[in-house]
Each structure stands twice: as structure tokens, then as C-alpha cells.
A and B are shown apart, each in its own frame.
Chain A
Amino acid sequence: MNARKRATVVIAILVGLLSSLGVALGNEEGAELVALPGNGGRWAMSPDMRVDPLPNQAGSVEIRGLGTFTYDPQAITTLRPQVFAQGRFSAFDVLVHLSVTGQISLVYAYDETADRYIIQSLNGLEGWWYDARVPGGAFERTALRMDLYPMKDGTSLYVYLEDPARLAAIEAGFREEVALRGEHGGQIIVPIVTIKGPRSTTTFENVLVTSHDVRPDLFQPGVITALDVLLSLGEQGKIASLDLAWHAEVDGVANVNHYMVDWIGTPDVLGERSPTCGYMDQAATEEVRGYLTPHSHATTKIHLSPDVEVLVSPGFVEWQWVCASS
């Protein structure tokens, strides 16, 4: 065997080893690609492979009309210890911390019917909502529960008085989610999951979603995220393959540390992969649909990613093929 043949064999063995670990080599710069199903047809990832460091840098939150406030992330404890892992906290926890330290006056309560903590008043005013942007991202008019929105170093938080109509729609949506979960005996069954690919759309009805504990660094075991929707579809044999990319950084922005969905291999998918395109998700209820920002019109490709987007029981989950240039 000459040197060239030996090198070829060594490379083939290395590729085989990496594939057996569920890791695929791709051409996406700076991203570590994960192809599912992995070894033995498993729709799961090794839990300790990728970790987002605990927040340890001073953060800031802008409260419109009041100013910008700073906080020490290590001094914050979460109201949702059953959701967040040790040392992790939500956007709502930041406000509670500011209130505890006397920087703002916050009155809040847990609303069981919507499964969320709600701001009853902030410095005497009612009707607050928030927006947040992940490192390197842009504000995107979120409709996620504030007490489930995970904070990390570099996440910007903006709190403002929301249009009463939008706020009412968001609240109604949360209540519907809780009602839906109740109807399904505590399980998350998504009535409609839509995958809008490059040139085809596939719809699945009544998808049972189970936890795959993809991000144990962020969440407690059993927490269900939007990424679990795809993993559950895979386990149920409804999608053939799923390509994810772990981004430690994107376009020079550090501390991104999340999975992006590069490709969903539905049985009838049309179109081709592209290194500048991927899937973004939106999970909500019909009440909120008209108040969501269409991701296809996004000015940034960094959004809250599906592996950190905690689900309660959405009425729909849509995956939209989005290209960086759109």
C-alpha cells in the first residue's frame, strides 16, 4: 500500500468514526454539523457535546421611559427552577431582580390559566411587554412568555408598553395553549406542524412532542423546545433526516452557542440545500399569528433558535426556509 492509499484509508476511517458519533463534516464555515438520525437510527444528540457558558458578565435592560438598568447575572435566581438549569434565568427574572434591588417597582403574579408570570404594574403603569435580541441578532417582536425567555451574556432586553390589542392577543394565545395542554392530559400535541421548504410545503397534524433534552446546559430534564418538534417527527418516522449546525459564533459574533436547522428531509421535500439558507420556526396560536414578525422579512439571520425556545402547547409550529439575503 503506497502513501496515497494509506492516507485515503485513514481519512475514510476518520470520517466513519465521526459519522458514527452523529457528526457530519460540512462546508458551513465555523459551524459544527450534526446529521440525524445518528448511529443506530437514534434521534438524539450526545448531551455533553455542546455547552453555553453560564452568564457571568454584567447585563443591561432598557425599560422605556425609565432608562437603562444593569444587573449582575450571578445574583439572579429564577422563578422557574423547574424549567431552567442551575445558574440560568429568564427575562422576567431580570425584572424581578431589579425590583428586589430597588431599582424599579414591580408588581407581579403567577397566572395559572396562562402558565406564566405576569407584570401587573411596573412603576405604577400597566400593559408592559418586552422584546429581546440574542447576541448578533435584532429585536423581533417576540410573542414568547417572558418568564421562559432564556437570558445569556450579550442578550439585549427592552421592556415597553405594548399596544393593548397585541397584548390581549398574546395573553389569549397563552391561555389557549394551557387549555390545549389540559385537553391532551398534560402532553404537548401540536395540531398543525408545517414545514415550508425551498419549493414544497409539508404539513403534519396532531404531532405528539416529547423532550429530547438537547440543551441540558440551559434547561431541566423534560423541558420541551421547538427543536423537539422535529426530533419527535423524526422518531415517528415522519421526516427522514435532519441536519443541524451548532454555531459557537456567527459572522464574528461570539457566544451564539445554539443549533440552527440547516435541512429537514421530509419525504416529499423539493428544492436544494444552500449554505446561506436554513429553517426558522414560529410557534404560537392562531390568536397571535397576525402579530408575529414574518421571518422571511428578517434583516438578520440570528434569531432565538429552536433549541432554546421553550414550548407550552402551541396551536401551530411553522418551519420556514429562509435565506440570508432575503
Chain B
Amino acid sequence: MNWILRANLKRKKARLALTVAGIAVGVATLFALLSFSAGISTALERELDGLGAHVLVLPIGCPYSLTLSLMQGADTIEYISEDSLPGFRAVDNVEIAAPVVVGRAKVNGTPTPVYGSDIQTAILKNWDLTSFDGAVVGSKAAADLGLSVGDTVNVSLYAPIAVPVIKILPVSGGRDDTFVFLPLEDAQLVLGLQGKLAAVLVRTADVSRVSETRTQLGHMAGVQAIPPNEVFDTLVGILATVRQTMILIAGIAIAVGVFTTMNTMIMSVQERRRDIGLLRAVGATRREVFNLFLSESIVVSAIGGVVGLGIGYLATLMLPRASGMGLDAPPQYSLAFVGICLLVAIAVGAVSAVYPAMMAARIQPIRALREL
């Protein structure tokens, strides 16, 4: 039967191409959606992990937008008084409480995200520094600004400072690559935030007591304490709403693919009534006729799936990544996504072939042969 299948596929090339395209659109949408969603989740997780904290101490306000600002190096309006810092450090089970200010300043004349902190951040981020008395520059910022260790950087916004570059960080793939990290006092001066902190990153000595420590920190005046995983869950939850809409769109595209394929197969059955009659006359059973059309539809859909994967991949490369909550969120690919998309394509082929294949199997050979 295989040669019949191959011959039929070659018979109507334009129709085959259109049917493949109909399935490919749905599969491409699904693949792009899965890849983008995974990319955004991974980027969020990477950035939150990159903070290196078990608990984020933030000013009162929306914790999610404050955390995003922190990760993006964007300015915020609400702050914590720096006077509170010894109080956070005195809380039981707090091993590290790293103060943070963030904002955009001009670094050698170029607007660049600036991150101010002290040696505790170096410990949190495993920078291998014994003192934090100069600029630590992210890999991308260093490349963009042409900086090397030993250079002096001029940083200005509310006030100008000049500090030596003491370290260039290796590529992390995250936002840290774009930051210029400065000693806290220098950053506060540049950003006009003397005596203020955007956040305090807390690492606990005993991870099993994070919840208890978070409660104690959260009871301190003028702040809220949030574990990064809680922020992650909420932000991913917000994304889930968008993803559901996208899945609906992909579902519609796939449903269109089902109807397109079904229509093609019904036309094919009608056109090949005499062939089917001959087949039955020379001994083919109803099941064999049914399987012939089912196989044909599955093969067409599988081709559509492969083409769709290619289109989806190209789409993920070409579409903007603005949906990553301001984070650099490249799409993430996985064999599982490829498998899911191919399975969906094959399922489309199988579902859309059932009715036409049944039609073909029910054709009476005598009647069909009379049409010769």
C-alpha cells in the first residue's frame, strides 16, 4: 500500500502544500508559544536566583513591580531608610543583609543601570572579592563601554564620581551582565539616594527557618519581606493568563488545520472513488482502505508538523522579546516541545482522517466500478 500512498501525495502537489501550510500555522504558533513561555519563566527564575537572597526586604508598595525594578535596575519611588539596616542584620537567622540601591546613571556618558551595594552583595553573588572599593562591571556593560580592570569610570546623575574598575564579571546570561556595580555610598551619591535603600537582600543561616525569619523581617516598620519564590510564582501566574489566551489562539489555528485536512481528505476520497472500487475489487478489505486514508492524512500532518516547527523556530528568532517583563528572555527550546508539536500534528491528521477514511471504506466496489 505504501506505493499508493506515495503516488497519491505526489498527485496533487498544490493541494498538499496548502494542507501542509494549514497544519504548519497551528504547530508554529504552538511551538513559539511554548518556547517563549519557557524562556520568560527561565529568565525570571535566573534573575531571582541571581539576587542570591532567601528573602527580599522591600519598601511598602507593590512587591512585584518593586522586584522587577530591582532586577531591571530601574528607578523606584519608594525606599527604605538606611537606618533600618542594623535592625535587619540583628534579626535572628539573618546571615547576610545586603543593602541595594538601583537606578540609571551616565557611565562615561552612556546611560547604564547602576547597582549600589556593599561587600555582602559580593558574597551573595560569589564574586570572590575581599573588598568592594571600586566598580564591578557586568560583562556586557564592560564590552559596550570598553572597560577593563584598572580603568577609571566617570559616573554621574545627581552628582559626579570617578572610581576605578576592580573587576569585570564573567557572562551570566542575566541582567547582571548589564550593570555597573558601585560601592553603596558612591551609588547613593550618584543616584541622589543618600540614606535610602531600594531593597535589602537577606540570606538566612538556616534555610529551613526562612518562613520564620521572613515573618520577623516583615513586622519591622515601613517594609515588607517577600521570598523570591513567592514573587516568581505570582509573576508566572500573571504570565499564565496571557499564556491561556495564546493557547486559545493556537487552539483555533489547530482546529482550522483539522478542518482543512478533513476537507482535503474528503475531496480526495470523492476523486478516487473508482480507484477505491478497483482496490476493493482486487481484494483490498475495508480496513485496508480505511488505513490507507488514515496513513495518508497522518503523513501529510506530520509533514505539516515538521514545517510548522521550522516556521515556529524562525518566528521565535524574529519576534521581539518585549514580553519578558522587561527582562532579556530569549526563547527556550526543548525536545519535549518538538515532541508535543509533532504529536499534536499527528493527532490533527488522525482526527481529521477518521470521517473521510470511513467514507472511503464504505464505498461499494460494484457502484464505484460502474463509474469507470
Task: Please tell me if the beta carbons of A65 and B78 are within 8 angstroms of each other in the complex.
Answer: no
Say yes or no: B61 contacts A163, CB within 8 Å. no
Query: In the complex, A297→B111 CA distance in Å?
Result: 29
Closest to A299 in B: B62
0/1 interface trace, chain A 28-67, chain B, CB 8 Å (1 if under): 0000000000000000000000000000000000001110
Q: Which residue of B is nearest A293, CB measured?
A: B65
Max count, chain A CB within 10 A of own CB: residue among B62, B75, B111, B158: B158
Q: Contact between A158 and B77 (Cβ–Cβ < 8 Å)? A: yes
**What residue of chain A has the Cβ atom nearest to residue B194's Cβ?**
A65
Q: How far is the CA of A158 from the CA of B111 in the complex (A)?
A: 22
Which A residue sits closest to B74, measured CB to CB?
Answer: A163
Chain B residue at smallest Cβ distance from A141: B77
Q: What residues of chain B lie closer than 8 Å to A204, measured between beta carbons?
A: none
Please tell me if the beta carbons of A161 and B62 are within 8 angstroms of each other in the complex. Answer: no
Within 8 A of A (CB), among B54-68: 61-62, 65
Which residues on the A side are within 8 Å of B192 (C-beta)? 64-66, 160-161
| Alpha-carbon distance A138/B61, docked complex (angstroms) | 9
Within 8 A of A (CB), among B29-43: none
Contact A161 B77 (CB under 8 A): no
CA distance A139 to B76 in the complex (A): 10
The answer, yes or no, to whether B107 is at the interface (CB within 8 Å) is no
Complex Cα distance, B231 from A164, in Å, reads: 29
**Is A7 interfacial (CB-CB < 8 Å)?**
no
A139 touches B158 (CB 8 A): no
CB within 8 Å of A: which of B110-169? 111, 157-159
Q: Which B residues lie within 8 Å of A139 (CB)?
A: 77-78
Indicate if the CB atoms of A161 and B158 lie closer than 8 Å: yes
Distance, CA A163 to CA B62, complexed state (A): 21
Shortest C-beta distance, B62 to chain A (Å), equals 6
Q: In the complex where A161-B157, A161-B158, A299-B61 touch, is A64 in contact with B193 (Cβ < 8 A)?
A: yes
Q: Is the CB of A65 within 8 A of B158?
A: yes
B62 touches A64 (CB 8 A): no
Interface presence of A125 (CB below 8 A): yes
> For residue B157, which residue of chain A has the nearest CB?
A161
Q: Does B214 contact A (CB under 8 A)?
A: no
Whether A297 pairs with B157 at a CB distance below 8 angstroms is no
Contacts of B203 in A (CB 8 A): none
A129 to chain B, nearest CB (A): 11
The contact of A297 among B62, B77, B191, by CB within 8 Å, is: B62
B104 within 8 A of A: yes
Alpha-carbon distance between A66 and B194 when the two chains are bound, in angstroms: 9
Whether the Cβ atoms of A163 and B158 lie closer than 8 Å is no
Complex formed: what's the CA distance from A64 to B192 in Å?
5
A307: interface (CB < 8 Å):
no
**How far, in whole Å, are A161 and B106 apart by their CA atoms in the complex?**
12
Query: Contacts of B77 on A, CB cut-off 8 Å?
Result: 131, 139, 141, 158
Instruction: Return chain B residues, CB-CB under 8 Å to A64.
Output: 158, 192-193
**A298-325, CB under 8 A of B: which get 1 and which 0?**
0100000000000000000000000000
In the bound assembly, the distance between CA atoms of A131 and B79 in angstroms comes to: 14
Residues 188-218 of B, flagged 1 when their CB comes within 8 A of A and 0 if not, give 0001111000000000000000000000000
Q: Which of A125, A138, A158, A297 contacts B158 (CB 8 A)?
A: A125
On chain A, the residues within 8 Å of B158 by CB distance are: 64-65, 125, 161
A138 to B78, CA, bound (A): 9
Give the residue name and chain of the B residue nearest to A297 (CB): B62
Q: Which residues of A contact B75 (CB under 8 A)?
A: 160, 163
| Docked complex Cα distance between A138 and B111 (Å) | 28
Please give the distance in Å from A30's CB to the nearest CB on chain B.
24
Given A125-B158, A138-B61, A139-B78, A163–B193 Cβ distance below 8 Å? Answer: no
Shortest beta-carbon distance from B307 to chain A in Å: 36
CA distance A299 to B157 in the complex (A): 30
Which residues of A are found within 8 Å of B78, using beta-carbon distances?
Answer: 139
Bound Cα distance from A66 to B195, whole angstroms: 12
CB neighbours (8 Å) of A161 from chain B are 157-158, 192
Task: Using A66-B192, A125-B158 as known contacts, list a sample of 14 further A-B pairs with CB atoms less than 8 Å apart, ordered by residue number in A.
Answer: A65-B158, A65-B159, A65-B191, A65-B192, A138-B61, A139-B77, A139-B78, A141-B77, A158-B77, A160-B192, A161-B157, A163-B75, A164-B111, A299-B62
Nearest 5 CB-CB pairings of A with B: A65-B192, A65-B158, A64-B192, A139-B77, A299-B62
Could you tell me which B residues sit within 8 Å of A by CB distance?
61-62, 65, 75, 77-78, 104, 111, 157-159, 191-194
A-B contact pairs, 20 of them (CB 8 A): A64-B158, A64-B192, A64-B193, A65-B158, A65-B159, A65-B191, A65-B192, A65-B193, A65-B194, A66-B192, A125-B158, A131-B77, A138-B61, A141-B77, A158-B77, A160-B192, A161-B158, A163-B75, A297-B62, A297-B65
